[in-house]
A and B are shown apart, each in its own frame.
Chain A
Amino acid sequence: MKPKMTRPPATASPRPRAACWQLRLYVIDRTFKSVTALANLKEFCETHAKDGYRITVIDLLRYPQRAKADQILAVPTVVRRLPKPMRTIIGNLSDPGRLLAGLDLHHAA
């Protein structure tokens, strides 16, 4: 994939210069579920990812080919691109404990 295509409109990147955490959130449309997921993710990152983070939101409705390219089935899905290894969490992220375990932020921090 070309970098251009992998950089769809980023909606939230409060501290882009020190993006130690690269997270991608795959959603479909601006549904309640999508909005909740993004809000939950942001809140979570503010609390835990102190070194800085960048969230890229990808709307599969606009970029359906990304579903195949990035192996997405469930929505919402959060993929931790960096640091390695990749982690995948599905759901609207309403359970911070599971999210913490999934993103393994403790360890990485």
Chain B
Amino acid sequence: MPSFTEGAVGRSVARKDGMGKATGKALYADDLTFPGMLYGRTIRSTIPRGRVRAIRQNFDADGFIVVDCRDIPGKNVIALIENDQPCLVDQEVRHFAEPILLLAHADRERLLAADVDIDYELGTPVLDPATSSVVFKEIRIQKGDVDARLATAERVVEGTYRTGAQEHVYIEPNGVVAVPEDGGLAVYGSIQCPFYVHKALVTLLGDAVNHVRVIQTETGGGFGGKEEFPSGIAAHAALLALKSGRPVKIIYDRAEDMVATTKRHPSVVRHRTGMTRDGRLVAMDIDVLMDGGAYVTLSPVVLSRGAIHAAGPYRCDHIRIAGRAVMTNTPPNGAFRGFGAPQTQFAMEVHMDRIAEALGVDPVYLREINALCPGDTTATGQTLGSDCSAVETLRRAVEVSGYAEKRAATDTGRRGVGVSLFYHGSGFTGSGELRLASRAAIELTERGVQVLTSSTEIGQGTRTMHAQIVADALGVPYESIEVAQPDTSRVPDSGPTVASRTCMVVGGILQRAATEMRQRIGDASPAEYFRDHGLLRVEAEYEQPEWIEWDEETYRGDAYATYGWGCNVAEVELDPVTLEVRPLRLTAVVDVGKAIHPALAIGQVEGGTAQAVGYALLEHVVMRDGAMANGQLTNYVIPTTLDTPPIDVVLVENPYPGGPFGAKGLGELPMDGPAPAIVNAIRSLGIDVREIPALPEVLLRASARAPGSDIGGPRKPTAAAQR
């Protein structure tokens, strides 16, 4: 075995893409130009429901390409789970900003100035999910006999919890360039899942092209917002490119991106929980309602993950989780980091604090006695192994944050401390990974060792982390590994870059491929082997651990191969004059199995925590008549430096034996805990908040309900007092 100085895994090695990003040389979608390129624009509906009656193009058509649904050679659909979402409106409009017409022109000013007038027949939109009768998906998870056990429980606590929509606000908006080539089409873009886009384009274009390839450009953030959505913008650019025979670039401006693209599903979760007098959970009856927007997109899967996580990381023998995702006439909601689990775990964790309040016990104590331990079973009946770290993360967070002392300090009455305990299944649910049948490859070429996967770098460090795993598995220096740009004509389908699977699942496949390659080349270095034998490619496929058993019908069994575990402690300060909540510090203790790159892992936790601070306190999607009314960064606000508290991160490594070097999923876990920890900190000050965003306006309403509350000043002025 050739020697090298030290392994890369476990070290914070230099990022593969650091220089390009720091110098501004990295190329994002809008940085690309092609000869003869046109710019594209999407004409969208201005009503939430109805029918298109007439379209008038009030502009000089010279130089314009115009595309409507009749120009679609294959199927007018954005292929995903159900094929219910059209690429372009035929006649029926189901949401505001639904794409109807596409324009392209070489001159962007003429493109922007083109006036299109549309007559509609207005329908009656369904805007409240509670009143919607169109159900995209229903899920039922049952363990034991909830009704019987609730009836005999010593105490019962009920509550309803709400989470609002959230907009991703990746700093780079959606953008693609479609380029005709050799009777086919190449689509470059800001894309998390090139093969999703590929599949959508093949369905859309049919025989009109002899090939399609999708290439991911440097991507300025995704967070799930570029998981399924890019299929739509890519389809639009492709249609315009096909019709014009020229490259077409479509870049959304921020307003369009905010109003028209997917958001996190809003949720309403109801809990009815039975417990013993001393706080042991004995029965959990949970109802989950998610607003899917106008089309199915990924709602069934978001609901699935949300439902599976809805009972939190707690032991309980009798659980029923009933979930449904319903249609409303709003722009479809979609994937967003956490994917249903932040919503349902928000509810569970605030509910836990309400239980603690009702019983008069400490919130940490309540969690500690109920936390899942190795050998316990989850809501779906999965038995957890030694890779379960709920109690450990809870204890570490309490210790590191000084929770007990801070909780006891009640002098100002303005500083609150709250805790949350959470977990997150790694990889696709149940048999999902089996169905994906992901593949990854390594090649030896004259240039050295190259990694080929469709996993995308979207900031989280995919290139770097995959290179580290391959370097160590192959026994070569990290610096010698190159990672190929995801191009669907070149790389195998490794599945989507989602679900916290890129390290654990795809990295695991790469580890096996690299191990096999080492066996094949023996003691030779890659360069020696290439010199003597030429090219070598080793491709490996996902192998499901044999012990995984999952029943898709009954939702019982091993929902995930493993889980990440986490605990947040949030300290906040409330300003009684304005009811603004200032987060002072967030402590995040997370078990990631193995931190392949400690600095990147910490970065994921810090970033996810900050994003969840926004979810908790600032980010409010204001909907009016089915449209986002505050679709500007001025009015939909995410945390600035001054809004983001210090974030203390502790990485715990309790390995999952089935993951590369013990790694579990990481990217989404940090999103699950901060919001309830922050709300619980607010609650500790006596304000009964049960929803997010916990805006000052929400606190005002909540405190007005509280008897004897003097938050927000006297409701009415007292009789004028003489000074």
Q: Are A and B genuine complex partners?
A: no
Q: Chain B: residues with CB nearer than 8 A to chain A?
A: none
